[in-house]
Structure 1
Amino acid sequence: MMSKLLQSVALAASMMVATSAVQAQELKIGFVNSERVLREANLAKAAQIKLEAEFGKREKDLRDLEAKLRGAAEKLEKDAPTLSEAERGRRQRDLVEQDRDLQRRKREWQEDLTQRKNEELSAVVEKANKVIKQIFDNEKYDLILQDAIHFSPRVDITKKVIDTLNAQK
């Protein structure tokens, strides 16, 4: 009975020592706000400018075509009382066909833009992840999180990631 009591005391003492050792080793944790990286890093800004240059003309052409179609619809509405039934029907069919074409072109533009935006952002994310891994290794972090609900500013390394990305050429 006495030996069981001594074993229990020894076990409790060793558990307390182990718990103290774990508490003595502090975890080094970092947090990266990916949304902020994608908004503030020069690489992300350059990707946005590149996309605007690549898709801006098409967007302007679509807006111009839409305005032209709206003008033609207003003209038809204004001229409708003086037009023959056949002419009014022909113009309406033309407008419907032009509107279908415009909607198709808008969809294609949106799909192309989304695909290119995903390509550009994935390249930025890939480079940011490499920088995060580099910081993790160099500064001996135990854990780096991305996108947390709550975090303390003392663990936020987002600025460090952005600065490192901006320093790269």
Structure 2
Amino acid sequence: MSLRSTLAALAAVVTLALPLASSAQNLKMGYVDYQRVLLEVEDGKTAKARLQKWLDDRQKEIDKEQEALRKEKELLDKQASAMSEETRIQKATDLQKKILELAQKWDRYRAEAATKERQEMEPIVSKMDQVIAKLAERDGLSFVFERRDSGLIYAQTQYDLSNEVIRAYNALPKTATTKAPAPAPAPKDAPKK
């Protein structure tokens, strides 16, 4: 590359970089800790409480079944010497099958819990995004980053909008989308109580 073409390329780069550098001085940014906001807004607290109750109910069910299987194993171990080899193997196989079914049930509950959490949090996150957009417009922010997932390593706390988002979110009028889902109607042919 000749000196002339090198200088022309350098001039082009400088010409393009100057407007970007001057506009960068006008950029205002902020960040939000989504996880903290989700845990501290009223809708988030309510949703987490509903999810925790659902999880606790499932955990009690699993614990009860686990205890029953533990007792069944103890009984099998005590009676094993009095059983024929074929009966003992059959009972041990049945017990293993029940244990496997319980593990599969637990996996289904975990997957269902993840789905429920997404369903519960989706409307909250959507409202949070609207609140953040309004705050950004109000304050003339060019960018608002999510603290954990954006790759943000360090930022001064003065740019943290989390507290403002929590206050603004909680000040929003309550809507039906943030309340507990209504129970499903009973089938028409179900007996009346």
TM-score by length of 2: 0.70
Question: Relative to total residues, which structure has the larger helix share, 1 or 2?
Answer: 1
Can you give the 5+ residue segments of structure 1 that lack an aligned partner in the other structure?
1-14
Contact 1:43–1:165 (8 Å) recurs in 2 = no
Structure 1 counterpart of 2:160, from 139, 156, 160: 156
* Local SS of the residue matching 1:151: coil
Question: Partner amino acid for 2:110?
Answer: Q
The count of aligned residue pairs is 152
Contact 1:29–1:144 (8 Å) recurs in 2 = yes
Q: Equivalences for 1:88-103 in 2 at 5 Å?
A: 88-103=88-103
Tell me by how many angstroms 1:98 deviates. Answer: 1.0
Highest Rg: 1 or 2? 1
* Local SS of the residue matching 2:30: strand
Distance 1:102 1:40 in 2: 35
Residue in 1 that maps onto 2:142: 142
Tell me by how many angstroms 1:131 deviates. Answer: 0.5
Distance 2:75 2:166 in 1: 53
Distance 1:52 1:156 in 2: 29
Residue in 2 that maps onto 1:75: 75
Residue in 2 that maps onto 1:116: 116
Tell me by how many angstroms 1:26 deviates. Answer: 4.2
Distance 2:116 2:41 in 1: 18
The 4+ residue runs of structure 1 with deviation greater than 6 A are none
Question: Partner amino acid for 2:168?
Answer: T
Tell me by how many angstroms 1:62 deviates. Answer: 1.2
Tell me by how many angstroms 1:86 deviates. Answer: 2.6
> C-alpha offsets along residues 86-127 of structure 1, whole Å, 9 cap, x if unaligned?
321221122012112212211211111111111222222111
